[in-house]
Amino acid sequence: MDIRAAEISAILKDQIKNFGKEAEVSEVGQVLSVGDGIARVYGLDNVQAGEMVEFPGGIRGMALNLEADNVGVVIFGNDRDIKEGDTVKRTGAIVDVPVGPGLLGRVVDALGNPIDGKGPIKATERKRVDVKAPGIIPRKSVHEPMSTGLKAIDALIPVGRGQRELVIGDRQTGKTAIILDTMLNQKSVHDNGPEKEKLYCVYVAVGQKRSTVAQFVKVLEERGALDYSIIIAATASDPAPMQFLAPFAGCTMGEYFRDNGMHALISYDDLSKQAVAYRQMSLLLRRPPGREAYPGDVFYLHSRLLERAAKLNDDNGAGSLTALPVIETQANDVSAYIPTNVISITDGQIFLETNLFFQGIRPAVNVGLSVSRVGSSAQIKAMKQVAGSIKGELAQYREMAAFAQFGSDLDAATQRLL
């Protein structure tokens, strides 16, 4: 047998030449315990706060609590498929979602995966869900009207592009109806209006019934309004981490339009349920509870989300993102923790009342308690002239109506006003 040393060494050299020096190291950890959508993981020493990790079967999670001997991970998916001792891998990526016009007309979950059965999302870009809000310099004061198409709101509590206007009221007072009407009323502008007037709509459903979300999408589709809308759904049956993440994912999708010189409207329906989901996660992660058992940073949760709605100046494309967050009160108690927090963050509120709703006044807006702190500068001149005196007259009417209950002999001027 003829052994040629030169030939063998040539083959070995050829194989060694293509051998990479870098071995791919994926840092791994082990699941210590799992339950209620939370996993405690040992290892992952260099994981960052907010980083995505991967469990077996492709289930994703996010590292939230970095402790001395373990990491608290919230699971975006079903925790029943994860068991003690499973291997957890770092991904090196922060949570991101697809953005762009390819999402219009689609229904997605909190991670941007389609859930409407219309095939994959055609999006080329991905953006991180939790980014810093624009600073003071890139912003401009709110000066363009954002027409809702509802006379009571456009005349008395006007909303401008880039404003954050809270819709607050008890259950079944027509909060979602206001948002649905606003989205449907943009259709005429999308059909015939100029490009710069168009308002793209993003609707985030948090903790609602699946049937309600399906009905909402059906109405949009029937009226032809789904073509300029994106729906993000984290329903009541989804895990708490998904309900916590959905508003941030929706905000990132809306910011794409804001940052590219377009206008978008985002509605969070509703933020009380997001706060409840965040409370559940925080308590399971053993973070100390505060007032009403909410964690200490629940204010920061909502402020960092709502501050991302802004009107940008001309140097930054003059785009805007308008936010209509929804808060559900219990028995008209506006002084509870979450309602007071969100009222202090937003630029005004539309207050809906059960009594007015049952009287047949719909939208059931209580004009006395509702305010718009920046909207009046965004009203068009014609609307200002028409609506200027209405608010004062309504206040006078309410005052006189209260007096009229006590006495029957009213002077002519009061009777005329009533």
Residue 21 CA to residue 19 CA, distance in Å, equals 7
CA 240 to chain centre: 15
Would you call the peptide bond into 363 cis, given omega within 30 degrees of 0 as the criterion?
yes
Residue 130 CA to residue 348 CA, distance in Å, equals 24
Decide if 292 contacts 121 (C-beta within 8 A): no
Q: Is 25 exposed, middle or buried (0-12, 13-18, 19+ CB in 10 A)?
A: exposed
Q: Strands, DSSP E only, in 83-228? A: 87-94, 96-99, 106-108, 125-128, 166-169, 199-206
Which positions are catalytic?
373
Q: Does an H or E element contain 399, and which?
A: helix 390-404
Q: Determine the residue type at 411.
A: D
Decide if 20 contacts 27 (C-beta within 8 A): no
How many residues are listed for the chain in this entry? 418
End-to-end CA distance of the chain: 117
Residue 114 CA to residue 120 CA, distance in Å, equals 7
